[in-house]
Amino acid sequence: MIKNRSLLFSLGCLILSSAFLCGCGENNTAKKPEVKEEAPIVYITATPTPKPTSTSTPTPRSTNTPKPTNTPAPAVTATPVPTLSVKGIAEYYQDYFPIGVAVPDYAFSVDRYKNLVLDNYTQITPENETKPDALLDPNKSRSGLPDTYYRAAVSFSRCNKAVKFCVENNLQMRLHTLVWHSQTPHWFFTEDYSTTGKLVSREVMLKRMENYIKDVLEYFDTNYPGLIYAVDVCNEAFDRGDGDENWIRKNKNDWYTVVGPDYYYQAFLFARKYAPDYMKLFYNDYGCSGKYNKIIKNLAQAKEEGLIDGIGMQSHLSTSDTVGGSYLLAMTAFLKEGYELQVTELDIGVASDTDYEYSRQARKYKVLFGNILDLKNKGYNISSVTFWGIADHLSWRSDKYPLLFDRSLNPKKSYYGVLQDPSILNIE
Ligand code: GLA
């Protein structure tokens, strides 16, 4: 685990607003959470290391210590302004589960992005660099024929930076994703690996699938044993009304066209065959609130046969979603079914760039994490939460400002929501 810096959570320190304006605050780059001016003055310092035995959502411990030593002395007639001095989300939740983040490749070349990642997260998902279109090598596959007919060539150069960053900093990596209808090149499915070639048979494609899964898993296990904590074996195989009567994704899905409706099951068979024990095998999907029953039904055989360890809930949410409603129902359903659960792509978009929406967003994050902690306290196996991006301007949903840091990398209210800041209401 990274960081032995203690997470100092000091709320309600009596400090003049003007002290902050002068740049005298302990963390004067941080956006301060709003509280009503009449808020009672309380002093809280905490290293929140809540124990999983408690049934309640952990809150930072209250002490009578008036303030941390490195906080500027309070001014006498000040309006109370809360300060939060936090060193990282991962540290806050370290007794519960690791916290990860999806990182775009260019961020590994920018110090301030790397520092933010190291301060807050202990797991990385390369945003694109371990997807099939990044790992499959078209030129070598074509030029290697006929030797490559059953075994397309792979190349790992595109994920080198992510891997190096993880290894150097003792972070774990999520392998996202092996079998997916999207970001998988059409040429992978044709006789001559051309974009216009004839599609291969199911038998040939199953061999290609097996070799691809084998080569990718073996590469990481051989070169970086222990690095990959979870593998998204299959992403987004089920979708309402997308063709197949069982919600198995049919349209615009080469895997379905060439292999058939059991393609996701086959992927799990091969993944289990080649994955070492420490790589947990996951099915990953979006919109789980609306289809968790279908997911559970369609994965039942793979689960029964021990081919799958967990479900990844992508969790691209909005402030209009009720995280305590169907989202929580979906989580609970997967957990009760005996799956390990990971939140794999969390972001919560706002409806507008307004204070009202950012407060709502912060409450959603607070409630969502509170619910996860409650489930953990009840003994359920939630083993990781990953945010889908570092900061709003780098997000795939940048117009929805869905993350914890703004474009200057200052923490937003949502950040304090994740940290269970008592000044943020615990209601949606
Ligand atoms: C899905 C995928 C992710 C990413 C997002 C959009 O959620 O699983 O890898 O592509 O879409 O960026």
pLDDT tens sequence across 1-46: 333 333 334 333 333 233 333 222 222 223 323 333 223 222 223 3
Which residues, in sequence order, are CB contacts of 323 under 8 Å at separation 6+?
317, 364, 367, 368, 371, 428
Is the CB of residue 50 less than 8 Å from the CB of residue 373?
yes
Give bridge partners of residue 248 from the DSSP assignment.
238
For residue 72, report the distance from its CA to the centre of ligand 1, in Å: 44
For residue 196, report the distance from its CA to the centre of ligand 1, in Å: 26
Domain spans of the chain?
5-418
Task: Please list every protein residue whose CB sits less than 6 Å from any atom of ligand 1.
Answer: 176, 235, 286, 314, 345, 396
Catalytic residue among 127, 236, 337, 428: 236
Please tell me the residue having the least CA distance from ligand 1 atom 12.
396
Catalytic residue among 337, 345, 357, 428: 345
Q: Which of 230, 228, 249 is nearest to 238 (CA)?
A: 249
- 236 has catalytic annotation: yes
- Indicate the DSSP class of residue 265: H
Burial class for 25, CB neighbours closer than 10 Å (0-12, 13-18, 19+) = buried
Please give the radius of gyration of the chain, using alpha carbons only, rounded to the nearest integer.
Answer: 23
Q: Which atom of ligand 1 is nearest to the CA of 127?
A: 9
CATH architecture of 5-418: Alpha-Beta Barrel (3.20)
Rounded-to-integer distance, Cα 135 and Cα 129, Å: 7
Q: Which helix (H) or strand (E) holds 160?
A: helix 160-169
For residue 339, report the distance from its CA to the centre of ligand 1, in Å: 22
Averaged pLDDT in 10-residue chunks for the chain of 428 residues: 37 32 29 30 34 36 33 34 64 96 98 97 98 98 98 98 98 98 98 98 98 98 98 96 87 96 98 98 97 97 98 98 96 98 98 97 98 97 98 97 97 96 93
Is the CB of residue 254 less than 8 Å from the CB of residue 205?
no
pLDDT at 242: 77
- 203 has catalytic annotation: no
Q: Which of 216, 234, 340 is nearest to 331 (CA)?
A: 340
pTM flag (> 0.85): no
Reduced to 3 states (helix: H, G, I; strand: E, B; else coil), residue 132 is helix
**Pocket of ligand 1, candidates 314, 347, 386: which has the most ligand atoms within 8 Å of its Cβ, to mutate?**
314
Is the CB of residue 349 less than 8 Å from the CB of residue 402?
yes
For residue 232, report the distance from its CA to the centre of ligand 1, in Å: 12
- Indicate the DSSP class of residue 5: -
Is the CB of residue 279 less than 8 Å from the CB of residue 308?
no
Rounded-to-integer distance, Cα 86 and Cα 148, Å: 52
Which residues, in sequence order, are CB contacts of 204 under 8 Å at separation 6+?
149, 150
